[in-house]
Amino acid sequence: MDARRRYVETLTFGSPDRVFFFPGVPRESTLRVWRRQGLPEGADYRDALAAAAGIPPEAMAGYADPGLDLRALPRFEEKVLSRRNGRCVVQDWNGNVVEISDGFDPGYLRSARDFVTRRWVKLPVESRGDWEDMKRRYDPDSPGRYPEDFEARCRRLRAENCVVRACVQGPFDKLREWIGFEGLCTMLLDDPDFVREMVAFWTEFVSRALRRLLTARVLDVVYVNEDMAYKGKAMISPAMVREFVKPAYDRWAPELRAAGVPVLVLDSDGKLDGLIPVWLESGFNVCYPVEVAAGCDIVGYRRRYGERLSFIGGVDKRAIAAGGRAIKAELRRVEPVLRGGGYIPGCDHGVPPDISWPDFVRYARMLAAMTGWR
């Protein structure tokens, strides 16, 4: 069974030969620490992990992206505006002006390369004029949305041993990026029509931009990135999610299903209890990363939702960092969910640098035994 079929069979309660293997993804700071702890310099951590943990190399098959670009086109100029006392103020690709450590540059804000704490100084949409400028950067037909070799790339992806994935920002996540978290929460009360306008615009943009990719029928999974929960509860009420955000989900999910995409993932940190029912109503079938520190109870979720809901993640990063018996106990905790299917166990977020390389290898070895790879 190849990785694509194994992934889909795992998450749709099918009959995989082994559970898809996804222990977690380290950030750059983690890799720097690992290289001091035994990860060979210059080696790909996936190859080194397979060798150190006694896992077949095929287990480390990852994800591939067909190349659709849903970001602003043209982008804002990435630049450093000032430096002082170990901090720098930068403008990122989306027009946010933020303060970060001067150990990072604006490129770190384009993707989750590392754990970058930031303080927002200025948001890109602070007026109607800003909004009109932002909208022109999100033309679904802009040159550059798709790579020039898109059709050839799709042909290659169909033949490769990897899961084909596309990632989409959810409307809450996108509006928070445009107007800021506090601004969005205030606007939901003070100017709800403007929120609806922006959500409708983003919904239409994503739907139109995805059409060519969906027609190619190459996708195994779509991730909707929608960080909208704190440690204790969602950032906005479930009622507000249904009123303002759910219309986007209700449009996208049927379009993805009609195009044959079997796995629809809602990716949010934090406490998911109030959000999961909304996502299920819209047709999403997988949650990630199911953070234990936020009070997410994957065993309880399985009892409550049965085969309506699958999971990726759910293994407490703190237990992996503690090592030894803590890892064993944590994997025993999630084992009933694994036995029931519909679950790819792994670290419940990016792998932080307090997880040592030796402990990550031990954890991977135990995880491989649980999932049929050893």
CATH number at residue 231: 3.20.20.210
pLDDT of 125 reads: 97
Secondary structure element (H or E) that encloses residue 263, with its range: strand 263-268
- Residues 134 and 112 reside in one and the same domain: no
Query: What sections of the chain are H helices per DSSP?
Result: 3-11, 28-36, 45-53, 128-136, 150-159, 171-179, 181-190, 192-216, 238-240, 246-258, 276-282, 298-305, 317-322, 324-339, 357-370
pLDDT of 161 reads: 84
pLDDT of 166 reads: 97
- Residues 129 and 230 reside in one and the same domain: yes
- Residues 99 and 21 reside in one and the same domain: no
The span from the CA of 130 to the CA of 133, in Å, is: 5
Residue 101's DSSP bridge partners are: 87
- Residues 231 and 105 reside in one and the same domain: no
Domain count, the chain: 2
SS3 state of residue 354 = coil
Write down which residue in 123, 158, 187 finishes a domain. 123
- Residues 213 and 105 reside in one and the same domain: no
Question: If the chain, 374 residues long, is cut into consecutive pieces of 10 residues, what is the mean pLDDT of each piece?
Answer: 95 97 96 97 95 93 93 94 94 94 89 87 95 97 96 92 95 96 96 98 98 97 96 94 98 98 97 97 98 97 98 98 97 98 96 98 97 95
pLDDT of 62 reads: 86
Handedness of CA 349, 353, 359, 365 (dihedral sign): positive
Domain that holds residue 102: 77-123
pLDDT of 107 reads: 87
- Residues 212 and 341 reside in one and the same domain: yes
pLDDT of 105 reads: 87
- Residues 37 and 98 reside in one and the same domain: no
pLDDT of 228 reads: 95
